[in-house]
């Protein structure tokens, strides 16, 4: 009887763990509420997400310090002409309306959640589509953005979460349901997070990380150390078999398909009423700091003769010898890289009269 009860419990526990790990909404909830130092919280990423994944907090050169001070445009005079819609991801979500010039309003939509817009026809409406290079092929292999970033046809105000002066116009499109949940591409990472990523277990992973780093010159888990050992990379960004890999060979047919989809989206949102649409690809760290063998994805997209979208070219801005625009222990850019991108956006916003 006891054995049967244990088996039933394990089956139920496994099914619950599988469901939780395949639900984007539930995982977002867990990531938010499991932050902290309690024993049941997850190993935090206060020194960078890759540092946290690899338990390499003891290596000072990888620890990331975050700066939050930007040039502020918070003092408005009421004559601002532009309304900025930013359809982006984790590179741009920390930004606030005070980071942008000459705007009467700022709306951010998280690409993982989707959202709605309602244009102010008395202003110049600008749409900036920002995407990390590692997600470019996956997301823009189709034109699903038009269904995930849509107009509010009912004409009602869309209520969103507010964070300081940032309004997030969100509607959930990221959850996996039904049979499709079995194909969540992050199921392995999510299961590891739910089953093993707890502060009271971290000592075991830290011991393992120490041995791996000092004895075998490598990082633990899905983290790879750069050839010069100055940076940590997400394993997918350097894989030769991943659509997110900086060194994965890419057929010209794939490039042309993405360009065709970007042109479609450009025309779609211009017809919807946006006065201008810009596209910006944020390069992966290895594309810049370890370029040997780079598949040239960004230049091949941006320089394609058939591309009609206006480009905010941050790739060439960051591809400067001797400059350091990326975090050493995180997948994102550092403060200097972020500022470079803001300069590109604000240059276009200042042109609106």
Q: Please indicate, yes or no, if residue 329 is contained in any of the structural domains.
A: yes
Give the C-alpha distances (Å, rounded to integers) separating 286 from 150, 226, 320. Answer: 34, 8, 14
Tens digit of each residue's pLDDT, the chain (353 residues):
788 888 788 888 888 888 888 877 777 667 666 766 676 667 666 778 899 889 898 999 999 876 655 666 666 677 899 999 999 999 999 899 999 999 999 999 998 888 999 999 999 999 999 999 999 999 999 999 999 999 865 433 333 333 333 222 333 333 333 444 454 566 777 777 777 777 667 778 888 899 999 999 999 888 999 999 999 999 999 998 888 899 999 999 999 999 999 999 999 999 999 999 999 999 999 999 999 999 999 999 999 999 999 999 999 999 998 899 999 999 999 999 999 999 999 999 999 98
| 82 CB neighbour count, 10 Å cutoff | 24
User: In whole angstroms, what is the distance from residue 54 CA to residue 64 CA?
Assistant: 14
Question: Counting Cβ atoms within 10 Å, is residue 282 exposed (0-12), middle (13-18) or buried (19+)?
Answer: buried
Q: Please indicate, yes or no, if residue 343 is contained in any of the structural domains.
A: yes
User: In whole angstroms, what is the distance from residue 94 CA to residue 342 CA?
Assistant: 12
Task: Kindly report the CATH number assigned to the domain that includes residue 167.
Answer: 3.40.50
Q: Please indicate, yes or no, if residue 24 is contained in any of the structural domains.
A: no
Q: Please indicate, yes or no, if residue 338 is contained in any of the structural domains.
A: yes
Helix then strand count (H, E) for the chain reads 13, 11
Predicted local distance difference test score (pLDDT) of residue 198 = 73
CA 220 to chain centre: 22
Q: Please indicate, yes or no, if residue 163 is contained in any of the structural domains.
A: yes
For the chain, what is the domain count? 1
Q: Please indicate, yes or no, if residue 345 is contained in any of the structural domains.
A: yes
Residues whose CB falls within 8 Å of the CB of residue 171, separated by 6 or more in sequence, listed in order: 113, 114, 115, 116
Nearest residue to 301 via CA among 290, 291, 312: 312
Nearest residue to 142 via CA among 287, 226, 258, 17: 258
- Cβ atoms of 224 and 50 within 8 Å: the answer is no
Predicted local distance difference test score (pLDDT) of residue 113 = 82
Q: Residue 196 is encoded by which pair of tokens?
A: 């093993």
- Cβ atoms of 266 and 117 within 8 Å: the answer is no
User: In whole angstroms, what is the distance from residue 84 CA to residue 305 CA?
Assistant: 28
Q: What is the DSSP letter of 267?
A: H
Q: Residue 27 is encoded by which pair of tokens?
A: 């995982």
Coil, helix or strand at residue 250? coil
Q: Please indicate, yes or no, if residue 111 is contained in any of the structural domains.
A: yes
The residue segments making up the domain with residue 105 are 82-172+241-349
User: In whole angstroms, what is the distance from residue 54 CA to residue 302 CA?
Assistant: 34
Predicted local distance difference test score (pLDDT) of residue 203 = 79
Q: Please indicate, yes or no, if residue 192 is contained in any of the structural domains.
A: no
User: In whole angstroms, what is the distance from residue 233 CA to residue 149 CA?
Assistant: 31
HSE-up of residue 325 (Cα within 13 Å, Cβ side): 24
Q: Residue 166 belongs to what H/E stretch?
A: strand 166-168
Nearest residue to 149 via CA among 170, 123, 130: 170
- Cβ atoms of 146 and 268 within 8 Å: the answer is yes
Helix, strand, coil percent values for the chain (each to nearest 5): 40, 15, 45
User: In whole angstroms, what is the distance from residue 197 CA to residue 194 CA?
Assistant: 6
Nearest residue to 27 via CA among 113, 139, 115: 113
Predicted local distance difference test score (pLDDT) of residue 176 = 35
Predicted local distance difference test score (pLDDT) of residue 160 = 33
Q: Residue 12 belongs to what H/E stretch?
A: helix 2-22
User: In whole angstroms, what is the distance from residue 201 CA to residue 338 CA?
Assistant: 35
User: In whole angstroms, what is the distance from residue 237 CA to residue 133 CA?
Assistant: 9
Q: Which long-range contacts (CB under 8 A, 24 or more apart) does 2-7 make?
A: none
Strand partners, 196: none
């Amino acid at each position: 009887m006891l054995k049967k009860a244990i088996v039933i419990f394990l089956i139920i526990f496994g099914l619950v763990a599988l469901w939780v790990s395949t639900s984007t909404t539930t995982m977002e909830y867990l990531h938010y509420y499991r932050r902290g130092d309690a024993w049941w919280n997850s190993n935090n990423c206060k020194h960078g997400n890759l540092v946290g994944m690899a338990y390499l907090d003891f290596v000072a050169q990888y620890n990331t310090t975050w700066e939050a001070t930007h040039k502020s445009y918070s003092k408005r005079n009421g004559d601002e002409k532009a309304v900025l819609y930013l359809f982006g991801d984790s590179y741009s979500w920390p930004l606030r309306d005070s980071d942008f010039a000459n705007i009467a309003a700022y709306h951010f939509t998280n690409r993982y959640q989707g959202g709605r817009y309602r244009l102010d026809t008395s202003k110049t409406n600008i749409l900036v589509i920002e995407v990390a290079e590692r997600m470019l092929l996956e997301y823009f292999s189709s034109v699903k953005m038009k269904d995930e970033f849509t107009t509010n046809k009912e004409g009602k105000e869309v209520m969103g979460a507010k964070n300081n002066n940032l309004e997030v116009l969100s509607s959930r499109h990221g959850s996996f349901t039904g049979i499709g949940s079995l194909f969540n591409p992050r199921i392995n990472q999510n299961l590891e997070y739910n089953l093993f990523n707890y502060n009271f277990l971290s000592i075991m992973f830290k011991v393992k990380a120490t041995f791996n780093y000092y004895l075998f010159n490598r990082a633990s888990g899905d983290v790879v150390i750069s050839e010069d050992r100055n940076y940590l990379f997400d394993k997918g960004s350097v894989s030769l078999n991943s659509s997110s890999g900086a060194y994965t060979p890419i057929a010209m047919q794939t490039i042309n398909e993405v360009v065709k989809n970007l042109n479609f989206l450009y025309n779609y949102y211009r017809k919807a009423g946006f006065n201008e649409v810009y596209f910006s690809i944020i390069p992966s760290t290895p594309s810049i700091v370890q370029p040997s063998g780079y598949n040239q994805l960004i230049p091949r997209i941006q320089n394609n003769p058939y591309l009609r979208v206006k480009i905010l070219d941050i790739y060439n801005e960051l591809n400067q010898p001797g400059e350091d625009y990326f975090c050493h222990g995180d997948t994102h850019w550092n403060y200097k890289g972020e500022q470079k991108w803001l300069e590109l956006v604000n240059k276009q916003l200042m042109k609106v009269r």
